[in-house]
Amino acid sequence: MTGSAHLGRATINCPFLKSPLDGFGGSVFFEDGQLRIEGLDARVGKRGRIHVGGGLPVHASKRRCAGLARFSENNMFSKR
């Protein structure tokens, strides 16, 4: 499977975060069994900033992942 997600100006609210993540944006790519994050950035509170980047190998069988999450390529991923 190959795909990508591009986020821009999103806000993430979580019960375990004191402040929401504002201005959340960046790109995530999945190809060749690798999840690659390119520059996910966000503001936290009044002065905080967060930047995430890097990659992770993804090794999971279809059986183990069945029912954990379902994504529609039309809604979330764009084909490359």
CA distance 62 to 72: 16
Residue-range domain boundaries for the chain = 3-65
CA distance 55 to 15: 26
Tens of pLDDT, residue by residue, the chain (80 residues):
789 999 999 999 988 888 899 999 999 999 888 999 998 999 998 899 999 999 988 876 555 554 444 443 333 343 44
- 60: exposed, middle or buried (C-beta count within 10 Å: 0-12, 13-18, 19+)? exposed
